[in-house]
Amino acid sequence: MKTNPPNQYREKGPHMGPWDSTDADGMNGAFKIKLWPGSTACCIVSDGECLPEMGFERWEHVSVHMEDGKGKERTPSWGDMCLIKDIFWNEDEVVVQFHPQKKDYVNLHPHVLHLWRRVAGFPTPPKVCV
């Protein structure tokens, strides 16, 4: 994950509840990023630093849903997710979207997609296959 957060897009203040953050929080917090005219990405970001303290391996994570500026939400497109990946991660980092087993689904928002990066790395398919 990049080390320079896009602080100009950081959402701050008590209205953010548990996602309230300051520039000192690095890549952790809520960000609203205008990707296209009339299309804003609403992101919750975690660099996964706290996970090892809880006994888990470290995963970086960005959740994303889109807003049109009039309060209408939509699910991000592939193009939206590619732009978000490039904002939060370096071009040489592998980031994935998972489709977990049905029994492990958690859906707290109908239009959110997630990007994940296992900090320890993980195998990828042969380049000819992707």
Is 31 part of a structural domain of the chain? yes
pTM recorded for the entire structure: 0.90
Is 68 part of a structural domain of the chain? yes
Is 57 part of a structural domain of the chain? yes
Is 29 part of a structural domain of the chain? yes
Q: Could you give the number of structural domains in the chain?
A: 1
Mean pLDDT of 96-121: 93
Query: Number of H helices and number of E strands within the chain?
Result: 1, 6
Closest by alpha carbon to 89, among 4, 20, 18, 1? 1
Domain that holds residue 42: 7-129
Is 18 part of a structural domain of the chain? yes
Is 26 part of a structural domain of the chain? yes
pLDDT, tens digit, for every residue of 28-47? 999 999 999 999 999 999 99
Is 59 part of a structural domain of the chain? yes
d(CA 38, CA 90) in angstroms, rounded, equals: 26
pLDDT band at 50 (very low <50, low <70, confident <90, very high): confident
Q: Which residue is it, tokens 């953050």?
A: 21
